[in-house]
Amino acid sequence: MNVIYCGVGGQGIVLMSNIVGEACARKGIHVVSGELHGLSQRSGSVIVHQRIGEGLSPLIPYGEADVILALEPMEALRYVYFLKPGGVVITNTRLIHHPYETENFVKGKIDKYITYEEIVENIRKSGAKLYEIDALNLAEEAGTALAQNVVLVGALTALPDFPIDKETMLEAVKASVPEKAVEANVKAFELGYNAMKKLL
């Protein structure tokens, strides 16, 4: 399985791929990842390629990703060209407007902000199977807004073709987050998993 993880700097994109990588290691499944951070400290784009399977290079060729897991919907649209025909996009519903977009709006270079509805319409036009998860709301329900990334990892795990079982993924979550945050992140994972099951 080829997975693209994406979002903006500070959302915990790399942690998502680390959790899946940890679970693969526990199951003896070969996995390789490649991280491209961009200007991640300035709300810039962050993308991680992850390939689960034997003998693969880290970077996913265009049109060969099975899943795009996006913490920010504009980033899902930005990288949709990596998706294979009929592939899956799981996106957070929380839109984060880029500082450059705000600057252009304030200076009158654009008339309005892009809307969430416009973004998802364009993702659907690509032919992707789109699943929308309110990760912020679920993370807050779990006890911390910082767990939005783990909510989406739970959603990824719920996919029928995902090659790692839920129990192993939960163990990987526990091993990958700080001890004081384990309880909230386990709950966040469960909430994301259950939310995705309802959409399938």
- For the chain, what is the domain count? 1
Position 39 scores a pLDDT of 55
Examine the pLDDT at 40 and tell me if it is beyond 60: no
> What is the torsional sign of CA 140, 141, 147, 153?
negative
- Express each pLDDT in 100-126 by its tens digit: 788 888 999 999 989 999 999 999 999
Give the CATH number for residue 71.
3.40.920.10
**Which DSSP string do the residues of the chain spell out, in sequence order?**
-EEEEEEETTS-HHHHHHHHHHHHHHHT--EEEEEE-SSGGGT-EEEEEEEESSS--SSPPTT-EEEEEESSHHHHHHTGGGEEEEEEEEEES-----HHHHHHHHTTSSSSPPPHHHHHHHHHHTT-EEEEE-HHHHHHHHT-GGGHHHHHHHHHHTSTT-SS-HHHHHHHHHHHS-GGGHHHHHHHHHHHHHHHHHH-
Could you report how far apart the first and last alpha carbons of the chain are, in Å?
Answer: 19
Examine the pLDDT at 2 and tell me if it is beyond 60: yes
Query: Going by C-beta distance under 8 Å and a sequence separation of 6 or more, which residues neighbour residue 19?
Result: 150, 153, 169, 172, 173, 176
Examine the pLDDT at 28 and tell me if it is beyond 70: yes
Position 38 scores a pLDDT of 58
What residue numbers bound the domain in which 41 lies? 2-198
